[in-house]
């Protein structure tokens, strides 16, 4: 075995080690991205929860299907519900935008959370319908008609929303 053969063998070994290191780095990076996406989504939903701790009277308008007051009858609550609804939509759009980084079961859970918020909030539904061009990921989700509980989530399953 000559010198050039040793150089060739060494090059193959170095290339093989580099390929293995690249593969391990890719796996590690993908795992870190998945954790970051889940953590970010969780943080956003926790911020949404913080709104309900600070303003508990807004909660029924997001989770309990309460009709928001009109601007004429209660201007402060009307605007607070609208602001909260827009915040919820922004959070849900961001959460669903990162869906490809979630594991399958996590993706299903996030999808159902989105469906539940829409099902429980006339304000969120109305704000979405008025501004759906701002929420392309939610629009795609709605158009997909994928839903684990279609009778509970008529807005997303193709039925008639409340």
Domain extent listing, the chain: 34-157
**130 vs 8 pLDDT, higher one:** 130
Kindly report, residue by residue over 139-160, the tens digit of the pLDDT: 999 999 888 888 888 888 776 5
Q: What is the mean pLDDT of residues 99-111?
A: 87
> If you search the block for the tokens 């953590």, which residue do you land on?
39
**138 vs 6 pLDDT, higher one:** 138
Kindly report, residue by residue over 13-66, the tens digit of the pLDDT: 777 776 766 766 666 556 655 545 556 788 888 898 999 999 999 999 999 999
- Of the pLDDT bands very low, low, confident and very high (cuts 50, 70, 90), residue 162 is very low
C-alpha span between 134 and 111 (Å, rounded): 18
C-alpha span between 145 and 87 (Å, rounded): 24
pLDDT of residue 26: 64
Q: How many C-beta neighbours within 10 Å does residue 43 have?
A: 11
CA distances from 137 to 92, 102, 109, 124 (A): 9, 15, 16, 15
- Of the pLDDT bands very low, low, confident and very high (cuts 50, 70, 90), residue 91 is very high
Asked if residue 104 has pLDDT above 60, the reply is yes
pLDDT of residue 41: 80
């Amino acid at each position: 075995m000559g010198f050039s053969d040793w150089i060739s063998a060494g090059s193959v070994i170095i290339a093989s080690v580099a390929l293995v290191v690249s593969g391990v780095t890719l796996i590690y990076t993908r795992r870190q991205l998945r954790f970051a996406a889940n953590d970010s989504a969780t943080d956003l939903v926790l911020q949404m929860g913080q709104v309900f701790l600070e303003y508990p009277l807004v909660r029924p308008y997001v989770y309990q299907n309460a009709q928001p007051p009109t601007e004429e009858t209660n201007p402060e609550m009307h605007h607070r519900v609208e602001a909260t609804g827009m915040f919820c939509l922004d959070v849900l759009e961001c959460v669903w935008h990162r869906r490809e980084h979630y594991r399958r079961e996590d993706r299903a859970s996030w999808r159902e959370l989105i469906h539940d918020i829409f099902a429980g909030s006339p304000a969120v539904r109305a704000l979405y319908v008025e501004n759906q061009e701002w929420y392309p990921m939610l629009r795609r989700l709605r158009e997909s008609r994928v839903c684990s509980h279609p009778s509970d989530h008529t807005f997303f399953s193709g039925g008639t929303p409340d």
